[in-house]
Every structure is written in C-alpha cells, then in structure tokens.
C-alpha cells in the first residue's frame, strides 16, 4: 500500500481532464454486481469474496455502532498503521481484536477479499459491514461473525511462597436471649454452632475488567482450590467457581455438632455464638486456551475463610 487512498487523490486531479469526450461506462467497471452477505464461524472460519473487476479499495469497516480500528499491514506483512481506522487502497491486510472478537481482512490480489475469523466470544452474532468502492460507486459487504466455542481452563498455579494464613478472627453466627425470670426451674436451649455455616472463597482479580464471564461463559468453570491441614495448605479435591465475588461452599466436616446452653432459675441470659475462622490468601495464575489455539492468563489472589471452631459468650445484662 503506497499510502491510504493515494489513487483517490490522483483520480480527483485526472477525472476532470478525461470528462470531455468520454462517458462513465468507458472507464468504470461494475466491480461487484451484487452486494454479498456472508457468515463466518463457527465451523467455516474464512470466506472469500470475488469481484468482477479490480477498480475498488476498502473505504471503511463498520461495526454495529462505530467505525472499527485495528492494524494495517502491506502485502509483505509490514505494519503500516497501528490502532488506525480500517481503510486503504491496494493490496493489504487488516486485523481487528477487541478482546472478544478477532478477525482479519486480506486483499492478496485485486479481485478477491478474504475474511478470516480467529474467535468470536460474544454470545450473539456480531454484524460488520465492509464498505468497498472507488470515486464513482461503492458497495457494502455484510459479514456476520457467529459465536465460537468459549475458552477452557488448562491449569492453575498458586504461588506458595506468598501464601499467608491466620486463625485469630471470629464472626458472630447467632445471638438470642433466654428469658427464664419467671421460672424457678432451669431452662435450656440446644445450639448448633455450625448450622448454616459455610466456607467463603473468592478469586480476587488483578484486572477487574478481565471479562472472564464472556471468555469462559456462564456458569464459570470450576478451579481446584487448596485446603488447610495442620496450618499448611494442601491441594485435595476442593474446587470453586472462578468467580470474583464471594461464593459459599459446604464445610469440609459435619455441621451437626450441638451444645446446650442453660439459664438458671429467675435468670435472663443473653447468648452470643461466634465462629472462629481459619483464613488464607494466595496469589494465583489461571492458564486457559481457546479453540483456535490462543492462550490467555488470569492473575489475582484467592481468598478463603473457613469456620473451624466456635465460642459461646454470655454477656451480663443490667437487669
């Protein structure tokens, strides 16, 4: 590509000189009698548009709401413009990648236009319009990029040298009052400290705009997570969704333990049930790959909070 639209600038100068004694049919070919519409993906990842003549160039590439920007290369593969509006004359190649949609437009000879799809991770088909033409006429090639397969998790790596844990936190699980002031007999209540208790985990991301829901799909894939044993991390069979928000997991031990709390005769007893928490955090790297072979990594910190003991307090009242 000598430069963007160099032929248009030349034709603007030459056309008035040729206008006398000539008509448009002498030097204007109908390069695309019918404007095509093609679908690319998920099975057929390329499409070739054939033209009747070579007197056309790429005028623009339009998305649903705006003109698209990308990289433009010459016929030898040399980068001419980066993050540029997609248009140009002559033989060239253009690429577009917004993180979810990746496609290329190639003009390897003057009568063909090849469109290739790397991946389309949107849940719905994505419409693109390629405007082609010259100084006298233009046509639109409509391209629909169909959704392709989502990414899959290949592995997760935890940085154990940065593992941190602590077990000196508590949280209030339940609070109630035994009002036995009117009775001369003791009154008892059976408490289940771990009833409804859950382990809480979250995959806190380094990049909050990592678009994992669109890349992996919903529900998000499950990731193997470490447990704690004797104060040290161990990788067993526990797993959690690769979600940035808190998620509740079942306890790794029976939650049916019970304890009896008794109020003396004529006593009003306030009861507070606390859970002791074993918590840790560890940086992670998730490696994933798509059907076209592209690989991505996601980094952040896994947080975990697991109840492991209970504490029952009976604060005194003023009564």
Q: Which residue has the tokens 């006593």?
A: 267
Q: What is the DSSP letter of 219?
A: S
Measured CA to CA, the distance from residue 135 to residue 138 in angstroms comes to: 8
Measured CA to CA, the distance from residue 8 to residue 28 in angstroms comes to: 14
Q: Where in the chain are all domains bearing CATH 2.170.15?
A: 152-313
Half-sphere exposure of residue 157: CA atoms within 13 angstroms, side-chain side? 9
What pLDDT, on a 0 to 100 scale, did the predictor assign at position 237? 87
Please determine, looking at this structure, whether the domain spanning 6-145 carries the CATH number 2.60.40: yes
Measured CA to CA, the distance from residue 295 to residue 276 in angstroms comes to: 41
Do residues 62 and 127 lie in contact, with contact meaning Cβ atoms separated by under 8 Å? no
Do residues 51 and 32 lie in contact, with contact meaning Cβ atoms separated by under 8 Å? yes
Q: How far is CA 24 from its chain centroid?
A: 52
Measured CA to CA, the distance from residue 188 to residue 170 in angstroms comes to: 25
H helix and E strand count, the chain: 3, 20
Do residues 262 and 176 lie in contact, with contact meaning Cβ atoms separated by under 8 Å? no
Each residue's pLDDT tens digit in the chain (319 positions)?
444 444 444 444 444 444 433 333 333 457 877 778 999 989 999 999 999 999 999 999 999 999 999 999 999 999 999 999 999 999 999 999 999 999 999 999 999 999 999 999 999 999 999 999 999 999 999 999 999 999 999 999 999 999 999 999 999 999 999 999 999 999 999 999 999 999 999 999 999 999 999 999 999 999 999 999 888 999 988 999 999 999 999 998 899 999 999 999 999 999 999 999 999 999 999 999 998 889 999 999 999 999 999 999 988 665 5
What pLDDT, on a 0 to 100 scale, did the predictor assign at position 317? 64
Q: Where in the chain are all domains bearing CATH 2.60.40?
A: 6-145
Q: Which CATH entry fits the domain spanning 152-313: 2.170.15, 3.40.50, 2.60.120, 1.20.120?
A: 2.170.15
The H or E element spanning position 26 is helix 24-27
* Burial bucket for residue 237 (CB in 10 Å: 0-12, 13-18, 19+): exposed
The H or E element spanning position 8 is helix 6-18
Q: Which residue has the tokens 């209970």?
A: 310
Do residues 38 and 117 lie in contact, with contact meaning Cβ atoms separated by under 8 Å? no
Sign of the Cα pseudo-torsion (175, 179, 184, 187, in order): negative
Measured CA to CA, the distance from residue 243 to residue 129 in angstroms comes to: 35
């Amino acid at each position: 590509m000598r430069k963007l639209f160099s032929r248009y600038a030349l034709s603007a100068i030459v056309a008035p000189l040729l206008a006398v004694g000539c008509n448009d049919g002498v030097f204007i070919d109908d390069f695309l009698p019918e404007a095509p519409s093609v679908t690319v993906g998920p099975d057929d990842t390329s499409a070739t548009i054939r033209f009747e003549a070579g007197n056309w160039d790429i005028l623009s590439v339009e998305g649903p709401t705006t003109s698209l920007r990308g990289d433009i290369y010459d016929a030898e593969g040399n980068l001419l413009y980066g993050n540029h509006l997609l248009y140009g004359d002559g033989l060239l190649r253009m690429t577009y990648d917004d993180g979810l949609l990746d496609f290329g437009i190639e003009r390897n000879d003057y009568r063909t236009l090849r469109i290739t799809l790397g991946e389309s991770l949107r849940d719905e088909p994505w419409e693109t319009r390629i405007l082609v033409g010259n100084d006298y006429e233009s046509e639109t090639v409509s391209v629909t990029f169909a959704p392709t397969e989502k990414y899959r998790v290949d592995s997760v790596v935890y940085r154990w040298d940065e593992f941190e844990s602590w077990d000196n936190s508590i949280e209030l699980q339940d609070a109630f009052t035994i009002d036995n002031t009117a009775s001369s007999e003791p009154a008892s209540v059976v408490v289940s400290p771990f009833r409804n208790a859950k382990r809480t985990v979250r995959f806190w991301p380094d990049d909050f705009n990592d678009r994992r829901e669109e890349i992996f799909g919903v529900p998000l894939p499950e990731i193997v997570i470490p447990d704690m044993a004797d104060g040290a991390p161990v990788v067993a069979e526990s797993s959690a969704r690769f979600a940035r928000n808190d998620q509740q997991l079942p306890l790794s031990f029976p939650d049916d333990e019970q304890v009896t709390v008794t109020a003396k005769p004529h006593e009003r007893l306030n009861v507070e049930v606390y859970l002791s928490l074993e918590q840790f955090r560890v940086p992670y790297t998730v490696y994933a790959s798509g059907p076209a072979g592209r690989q991505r990594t996601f980094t952040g910190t896994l947080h975990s909070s697991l109840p492991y003991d209970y504490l029952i307090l009976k604060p005194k009242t003023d009564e």
